[in-house]
Chain A
């Protein structure tokens, strides 16, 4: 199973870009990188995902290196409400069942400071 490595915590000033790194050096060619975040006492929230190309949506941008061994989630203008735990996940295909097991690591705790 491909696993991810993230720094345990990061700080970011309000209004600045938050760049959250993730290493997934054992990722397979057909596995996607997903990002979720969890604000205190709430359920995890989907942010963005990608396979090879960089992706952008209304919440964030995802930059995936050419070798796909690492990625960076970018929150372009962080606000206090972006303070949360951010999870980088590689979606694992589960054998012949067609199911997809999702393994959450410890994530990165992002503190956005005024």
Chain B
């Protein structure tokens, strides 16, 4: 049963520290999405990739967030420096362009103190 995996599942860090979240999309999927979920804002799309190329990262705070896909099996989301307002659950999802359905990972729960 193919699944999207995310690491770490939980992260507690102090303000100002760098945070790196990793996602392994389902093998063969050619789109990857990063979402952030908070109680106040709900699910927000941060960025998405097609065939490893970033198509849209307009939802990301550019000064501190960055998203990359170094290869087809790994997507990363980095926050540097982290701030308390970045505390949220970060979800990665993958899919096929042709299909349109997104398959979500279990999320990374980030707490910035």
Contacts and interface: CB of A to CB of B under 8 A. Distances in A.
A33 B91 CA distance: 21
B102 interface: yes
A44 interface: yes
A100 B97 contact: yes
Contacts of A104: 35, 42-45
The dominant DSSP class at the B interface is strand
| Chain B interface bracket (under 10, 10 to 19, 20 to 34, 35 or more) | 20 to 34
Interface in B1-37: 4, 31, 33, 35
A43 B100 contact: no
Interface residues of A, number: 23
B106 A46 contact: no
Interface of A: 32, 34, 36, 42-46, 49, 87, 91, 94, 97-107
26 contacts: A32-B100, A34-B101, A36-B102, A42-B106, A43-B4, A43-B93, A43-B105, A44-B91, A45-B104, A46-B103, A49-B101, A91-B100, A94-B55, A97-B55, A98-B50, A98-B97, A99-B31, A99-B48, A99-B50, A99-B55, A100-B97, A102-B45, A103-B45, A104-B42, A104-B43, A105-B42
